[in-house]
Structure 1
Amino acid sequence: MANTIYIEYDFTVSPLQPASDILIAELGEAGFESFVENETGVLAYVQKDEWSEKCMDFIAILKNPEFTFEYKVREIEQENWNATWERNFSPIQVGDQCVVRAPFHEKPEVAYDIVIEPKMSFGTGHHETTHMMLQFVLEHDFKEKTVLDMGSGTGVLAILAAMKGAKKVDAIDIDNWCYLNAKENVERNGVGQVSVFEGDAQLLGGTAYDIILANINRNILLEDIPKYVQNLAPNGILFVSGFYKDDISIISEKCKACGLKFEKNLQRNDWVAVKYVF
């Protein structure tokens, strides 16, 4: 596959929060695929073919007088992504059991050591939504469970579910680069019970899953929750994230209409992850 050209936006943000979170959410809606948060702001990436010089005109947070934004723009090829990643990535520790790290980091003494190379894929654990979903996986019993990871990105949630004893994990992402990257990360972590697929909820057939993980965005969740529920086994559990605290009510209404009930939510800054059960 030929190298895709990406446009990198290097944002300096002041104050950092909640401006960085809102910026990432709005850029995601505008087609940006990957983000790296650092001490001064956010690096954001969009495919050049999907990019317009006027795209920043539609990012509302940039016009908010409560925050200051500056940014630089440059082209970057996928083959240079790992160098960018290494400059900006530090290991992520989730509780005292799990670390998400790159191969060049020292091996930690934890129960679940996840090694990934992101290669333009979302889901390293830096972002609040991924971190909270990892927390949920750590809290729950996955032994001998069948699991679906929708919008799998790097595959980090699927990998942790497998490490926790899931007997079958299907990871699905619509982005080709995420699909390829998740396959690499699954092999790197030796979790053979994880199968990776390229596509969206239309791929879901008659498989019944004990647990479904979906870290996407609000609009996709609202559209696809009925499809997820059709694929939940009796007494199944749905974990969702990718939206703000204020969106819990509308997500819960959709889940309730599909026969699910709210059980618990986690929160980091304004982002939430929520557990629903039959």
Structure 2
Amino acid sequence: MQYLEFKISCSEPYREILIAELSEIGFDSFLETDEGLDAYIQEDVFQRNTFLEIIEQYKEAGRISVQEGILPKVNWNEEWEKNYDPITVGDQVYVRASFHPSKPEFPHEILINPKMSFGTGHHATTYLMISHQLNLDHQDKRVLDIGAGTGILAVMAHKLGAAHIEAFDIDEWCVENGNENFDLNGMATVRMGKGTVREVKPQGPFDIVLANINKNVLLDEMEVYSSLVKEKGYLLLSGFYEHDIADIEKRANEFGLVLKDKKIKDNWAALAMQKI
């Protein structure tokens, strides 16, 4: 599956506006640049008319221009090695690539060699989801990772003692990369599935369901998520902005999920919902 790349030149105040607007229509990764931002979306979910409407809305005020291209499938391990620094989540988790030295002083060490999938812990939503996971008892639990990307959240569940883990993503590159990362972290018995939650049809109930995707997908699939969470189990959600919390919480409440905790980082949000 190919990614489309949009190099967007805009005035500085419009960077965050465009990131927020584009994330609502399926763009799943952004890189701020001196000129504005680079935005990435899977080719099969790209809605050109909707994209052009957003650009046109802010074009004049934001002095916006766009260059479009296709992001080639390259050796992402090699590319990331040039710029990929390890990260920490508090004093509990150390996320590194295989070419970084180990730090055994951390209770949990995760190895992630990324390819085209975006989920190394550097993005605020991944960081927030891991932070929520650290607050939940995973020991001997059943865990489902929806839209797993690199598989980092599934790996975190494994490190925290989960007994059964399932993970899947719609992107074949993520599936390939996720399986490689599972192998790096001693999870050879876990294999990444391919498809949406409705296509994969995982068999619940699960103690913990993880979904770090985007607002529109979360709202659309919320009923399915709820059906997969056991009573008193948890649904962790991210991939949306702080101002979207009310919409996400309202939708979750419709299916018996109540807010237990929320975390914010760089205007991104992550919620811990419990099935009642």
Q: Deviations over 1:183-224 (max 9, x none)?
A: 111111112453321111112243210001111111111121
Aligned to 2:74: 79
Which of residues 73, 94, 97 in structure 2 aligns to 1:102? 97
Q: What letter matches 2:132 in structure 1?
A: F
Task: Give the Å deviation of 1:9.
Answer: 4.0
Q: Answer yes or no: is 1:201 the counterpart of 2:197.
A: yes
Distance in 1, matches of 2:29 and 2:224, equals: 26
Distance in 2, matches of 1:60 and 1:10, equals: 12
Q: Answer yes or no: is 1:211 the counterpart of 2:208.
A: yes
What RMSD, in angstroms, separates the aligned Cα atoms of the two structures? 3.1
Aligned to 2:149: 153
Q: How many residues align?
A: 273
Which of residues 245, 249, 252 in structure 1 aligns to 2:246? 249
Identity over aligned pairs, percent: 38
Gaps of 5+ in 1: none
| Cα distance change on mapping 1:124 and 1:62 into 2, 3 Å | farther
Question: What secondary structure does 1:133 align onto?
Answer: helix
Distance in 2, matches of 1:55 and 1:254, equals: 24
Give the TM-score normalised by the residue count of structure 2: 0.83
Q: What letter matches 1:249 in structure 2?
A: A
Question: What secondary structure does 2:191 align onto?
Answer: strand
Question: What secondary structure does 1:139 align onto?
Answer: coil
| Cα distance change on mapping 1:32 and 1:218 into 2, 3 Å | closer
| Cα distance change on mapping 1:25 and 1:100 into 2, 3 Å | farther
Gaps of 5+ in 2: none
| Cα distance change on mapping 1:206 and 1:7 into 2, 3 Å | closer
Q: Answer yes or no: is 1:274 the counterpart of 2:250.
A: no
Question: What secondary structure does 2:193 align onto?
Answer: strand
Distance in 2, matches of 1:61 and 1:134, equals: 37
Contact 1:91/1:100, CA 8 A, preserved across alignment: yes
Task: Give the Å deviation of 1:267.
Answer: 0.6
Aligned to 2:126: 130
